[in-house]
Amino acid sequence: MDYYETELRNKNRGYMKLIVWQKAIQLFELIWKIAFIEAKIDFRLRSQLADAAQSISANISEGYGRRSINGYIQFLYYALGSLAGTMTRAIGLT
């Protein structure tokens, strides 16, 4: 692998420096712990909750890799929607 390929890989992972992405990962880890380790929750709800939580950080990173700011913003809106879905499913646990 030459310098150019290494440089491109590092640029593509710049989203990992974003605080919002880091917080999304922390939320996913918390949801995973609650849904799969501590709680006795229906399998379907656990899966939906984990998928919604995981898609927040996934949408942020996918948007970061887009070529335009408009594409990036669109994926940030998707991440916001995933956050709303996560919150709704989490409320269902109470």
Whole-angstrom distance, CA of residue 78 vs CA of residue 75: 5
Per-residue model confidence as pLDDT tens digits over 29-86: 999 888 877 667 788 888 899 999 999 999 999 999 988 999 999 999 999 999 999 9
**pTM, entire model:** 0.80
3-91 classified as CATH 1.20.1440.60: yes
Give the start-to-end residue ranges of the domains of the chain.
3-91
Torsion angle, CA of 31/36/41/42, rounded to 10 degrees?
110
| Letter string b/e over residues 51-81, b meaning 16 or more CB atoms within 10 A of that residue's CB | ebbbbbbbbbbbbbeeeeeeebeebeebbee
